[in-house]
A and B are shown apart, each in its own frame.
Chain A
Amino acid sequence: MKAGYFSWLGILCAGIAAGLYTAVRLFSEGHVLFNANDVVIWTLPIGSYVFFALTSSGLGLLSALPLLFGVEKYLPAAKRIVFLAIASLLAAFISIGLELGSLEHIYYIFLSPNMSSPIQIMGLIYSAELIFLLIKFWRIHKNDLRSALSKVCGLGSFVCALFGPLVLGSVFGITEARPTFFGSFLPVLCLLIAVVSGLAAFVLYNSLYRLLAQTASPRTEEEDILEDASLKLCFTLFLALLFYALWGVYRSATTLPDFATELNFSLALVLIIPFGILISRGVRTSGWGRIIASVITLAAFFGLHMSVILAGQVRPMGPKAEGLPGVLSYTPSLWEYLVVAMSLSVLLLAATLAERYLNLTPKTA
C-alpha cells in the first residue's frame, strides 16, 4: 500500500515537473510551441480550462445543496465537495495561465479593467469564487457551518458558481464574428454542462475512493449520497442530451455553412452510454457502474468542449484565408498535452494530500 501510494505521488510529481518544464519553455520561446496559428487561435489548453472551470462550478453548485439550501443528506460530503471545487479551479487557472501569451501583464486585469469584456468578468468571478471556496473550506474544517462568515461565503460561492459558467459561455456567445458560437445557446449549455460535470466528478471521485479505501460496506450514509448523486447525474445527462438534440435541430434548419456544419453532434451521442448505465438501478448502485458512467461523461464533455471550441475557428477569415484550405485541421502538440497533464496532476495531488492531511472523508458534521 505504502509503495503504491508513493508511486502515485511520484507519477503526479512527474506530471507537474513536465508541466513546469513546459511553462519555462513557453516563457522563453513563446506559444509557437503550441499547434495554434492565426486561424486556430485557442487550442487544447483552452479546452482544458473550460473543462476544469465548469467542473469546479458544478461542484460549487453541488456544495450549495447542504451549505445554502439545507439539504442535510449532502452535509457529510460537503467538505470533500468544496475541496474538489478548489482543486478543479486551480487546475483551470493553470491551464489558462499557460495559455496566456503575457502572463506577466495579468495585473492589468485589476489595474485597467474593462467591464464590457466577458473575459474580465469571468476572471473576476472565478477569482472571487476561489476566495469564497477557500474561506468556506476553512470554516468547514473548523466545524463552523452556522456563522455569518460561513453563510456569506456559501452564498458568495453559489452566486459565482452560477454566473461563472454563464459568463464563460458568453465569452463565445457574444462573438458576432463567429456564427458557430453566436447566440444564447452556449451560456445556457455551459451552465448545464457545469452541473453534469460537477456531479460526474463527485460520483467518480467518491466511487474511486470507496473502491481504493475498500470501504464498500452494504449501506452507509456515503452510499446514500452516492446513489442520490448518481440519480441526479442520470437526470442531468438526459437534460444535456435533450439540449444537444435541440441545438442540432436548430442548426439543421440553417443554410449558413459555418453555422450548420463543423459541430460534431455525434459526439454528444456518447452521453447515451452513461445515461443508459445510470438509468438501471442495479448498475447504478454498483461501484464500477458509477465509475464507468462518470468517466465516460467527463471524457465526452472534454471532447465536446474541444469540438465546440475548434468548430468556430477552423474556417479562416478575411486575409488570413489567403493560401489556406477552406477548413483547417488541428492536432495538439506535445506541449499542449503537458499543460493538461500538469493541470490534472495538480488537481489529483491536491486531493491525494488533502485526503491524508485534511480529513475529507464524509462524516456526519
Chain B
Amino acid sequence: MPRYAMVIDLQRCVGCGACSIACRNENNVPEGIYWSNKITETAGKFPNIRYHYLPTLCNHCQNAPCVRGCPTRAMHKLANGITMHDPRKCIGCKYCMFNCPYGVIYFNWENPHKFWRDGQELIKGCTSSPAAEVEKTGGQGTPYYNPSRAETSEGVRQKGVVEKCTFCDHRVKKEELPYCVEACPANARIFGDISDPKSEISKLLGKYRPFRLRENIGTEPHVFYIRDYNPAHYEATKGEA
C-alpha cells in the first residue's frame, strides 16, 4: 500500500494561487472555506523588505491530532495515509479544528454556496439570477459543481460539518494526481508514494533538505517544503563592531 505525500518546491512556486482555484473547482469548495490556502508575510522595513509566500493544505499527518480527537471517527486515516473526513458521521463539535495545529480545517457555519441561492437578477430582464444559473447548469449548489467529487464523499458538504483537503482522494483512487498538482503551472507541487524510494518525491526529499510545519509537536506532517526563492543579493561583508 502506498503512503502518499506531497513536496512543495518553494523555488518553483510563483504564488499565482492556481492551486487554490483548481481545488475550489474540483472539490466544490464554498465561499469562506479554503482546502488549499497560503500563508503570506511581509517582513522588514523599506527598502530592505521581503515577501514570503507559503502554500498550505491539510498535512495528512501520520499522528493526526484531528483523527485522534474526533469522537465519531468522522475524521479518519485511509490505508494510503490520506486523512479523510466523512461528513455523514460528523457531529459538528469542531474538536478537529481545535486540535489541528495548522489551521486547515474549516466549518460550514451556514448552508454552502449561499450566493448561488440568490434569486435576484443582477440586471433585471438582462441577466439571469445566480439561482437560475445553477438550475440551468444542473449543478448542486453551484453551477461549477463537479460530480466526480461525490464518488468518495459528499459532493457538497452541508452546514454544521467540517471539511478539509483530502489530497483529491477521488482522483488518486483513479491513479490521477490531486488537482492542485495537475493545475500548478510551475510544477511546484510533486505528489507521490513516499514509501517507494524510486518515486519522484523520495528522490527530491533525498536530494534537498526539506522542512515541515510545526515539526516540533510530533504530528509527522506529510507535506514537505523544499528550497526557497530569493532573487536578492548583497555584497560580501563581515559586518561592523
List residues of A whose CB falls within 8 A of some B CB. 29-32, 36-38, 41-42, 99-103, 105-106, 108-109, 111-114, 116-120, 123, 171, 174-178, 313, 316-322
In the complex, which of the residues A108, A123, A313, A319 contacts B89, with contact meaning CB atoms closer than 8 Å?
A108
Is B203 among interface residues, defined by CB-CB distance under 8 A? no
Cβ contacts A to B, 20 pairs, < 8 Å:
A29-B111, A31-B92, A41-B107, A100-B93, A100-B160, A101-B90, A101-B160, A101-B162, A102-B160, A102-B161, A103-B92, A105-B90, A108-B74, A109-B72, A114-B71, A117-B68, A119-B95, A175-B99, A178-B98, A317-B100
Is B218 among interface residues, defined by CB-CB distance under 8 A? yes
Q: Which residues of A contact B95 (CB under 8 A)?
A: 117, 119, 171
Count how many pairs of residues, one from A and one from B, have CB atoms less than 8 Å apart in the complex.
142
Q: Which residues of A contact B232 (CB under 8 A)?
A: none
Q: Which residues of B contact A176 (CB under 8 A)?
A: 65, 101, 217-219
Q: A114, B72: Cβ atoms under 8 Å? A: yes
Q: Which residue of A lies closest to B89 (CB)?
A: A108
Bound: A127/B93 CA distance, A: 17
Is B159 among interface residues, defined by CB-CB distance under 8 A? yes
Which candidate, B37-45, B119-127, B132-140, B181-189, is the interface stretch facing chain A? B37-45
Is B102 among interface residues, defined by CB-CB distance under 8 A? yes
In the complex, which of the residues A42, A101, A112, A118 contacts B159, with contact meaning CB atoms closer than 8 Å?
A101
Bound: A114/B74 CA distance, A: 9
Bound: A177/B218 CA distance, A: 10
CB contact list, B125-165 vs A, under 8 A = 158-162
Q: A177, B100: Cβ atoms under 8 Å? A: yes
Q: A109, B160: Cβ atoms under 8 Å? A: no
Bound: A32/B160 CA distance, A: 10
Q: Which residues of B contact A41 (CB under 8 A)?
A: 94, 97-98, 107
Q: Which residues of A contact B109 (CB under 8 A)?
A: 30-32, 36-37
Q: Which residues of B contact A321 (CB under 8 A)?
A: 39, 103
Is B81 among interface residues, defined by CB-CB distance under 8 A? no
Task: Check A105/B91 contact, CB under 8 A, given A30-B160, A117-B71, A322-B38.
Answer: yes
Is B177 among interface residues, defined by CB-CB distance under 8 A? no
In the complex, which of the residues B65, B73, B103, B213 contacts A320, with contact meaning CB atoms closer than 8 Å?
B103
Q: B91, A102: Cβ atoms under 8 Å? A: yes
Task: Check A38/B106 contact, CB under 8 A, given A177-B100, A319-B39.
Answer: yes
Q: Which residue of A lies closest to B217 (CB)?
A: A176
Q: A119, B93: Cβ atoms under 8 Å? A: yes
Q: B89, A112: Cβ atoms under 8 Å? A: yes
Q: Which residues of A contact B100 (CB under 8 A)?
A: 177, 317
CB contact list, B1-57 vs A, under 8 A = 32, 34, 37-40, 56
CB contact list, B59-106 vs A, under 8 A = 65, 68-74, 88-95, 97-104, 106
Bound: A42/B96 CA distance, A: 12
Q: Which residues of A contact B92 (CB under 8 A)?
A: 31, 100-103, 105
Q: B69, A30: Cβ atoms under 8 Å? A: no
Q: A318, B39: Cβ atoms under 8 Å? A: yes
Is B110 among interface residues, defined by CB-CB distance under 8 A? yes
Q: Which 7 pairs between the two chains have the least Cβ-Cβ distance? A: A101-B92, A318-B103, A101-B160, A177-B101, A319-B37, A108-B72, A120-B71
CB contact list, B175-213 vs A, under 8 A = 213
Q: A42, B73: Cβ atoms under 8 Å? A: no
Q: Which residues of A contact B93 (CB under 8 A)?
A: 99-101, 119
In the complex, which of the residues A101, A105, A317 contacts B88, with contact meaning CB atoms closer than 8 Å?
A105
Bound: A61/B177 CA distance, A: 56
Task: Check A30/B110 contact, CB under 8 A, given A114-B70, A175-B99, A177-B217.
Answer: yes
Assuming A102-B90, A114-B70, A318-B103, what are 8 further A-B pairs, CB within 8 angstroms?
A29-B111, A101-B93, A101-B159, A102-B158, A103-B92, A112-B89, A171-B95, A319-B104
Q: Which residues of B contact A177 (CB under 8 A)?
A: 65, 98-101, 217
Q: A317, B108: Cβ atoms under 8 Å? A: no
Q: Which residues of B contact A108 (CB under 8 A)?
A: 72-74, 89, 91
Q: Which residues of B contact A100 (CB under 8 A)?
A: 91-93, 160
Q: Which residues of B contact A38 (CB under 8 A)?
A: 32, 97, 103, 106-107
Q: Which residues of B contact A37 (CB under 8 A)?
A: 109
Q: Which residues of B contact A114 (CB under 8 A)?
A: 68, 70-73
Q: Which residue of A lies closest to B66 (CB)?
A: A177
Bound: A320/B107 CA distance, A: 12
B109 to chain A, nearest CB (A): 4
A185 to chain B, nearest CB (A): 18
Q: Which residue of A lies closest to B102 (CB)?
A: A318
A226 to chain B, nearest CB (A): 39
Bound: A119/B161 CA distance, A: 16
Q: Which residue of A lies closest to B109 (CB)?
A: A32
Q: A106, B101: Cβ atoms under 8 Å? A: no
Bound: A348/B80 CA distance, A: 52
Task: Check A318/B70 contact, CB under 8 A, given A30-B109, A38-B97, A42-B94.
Answer: no
Bound: A342/B106 CA distance, A: 28
Q: A109, B97: Cβ atoms under 8 Å? A: no
Q: Which residues of B contact A102 (CB under 8 A)?
A: 90-92, 158, 160-161
In the complex, which of the residues B73, B97, B110, B158 contacts A32, with contact meaning CB atoms closer than 8 Å?
B110
Q: Which residues of A contact B103 (CB under 8 A)?
A: 38, 316-321
Q: Which residues of A contact B160 (CB under 8 A)?
A: 30-31, 100-102
Interface centre among A106, A113, A171, A317 (most CB of B within 10 A): A317
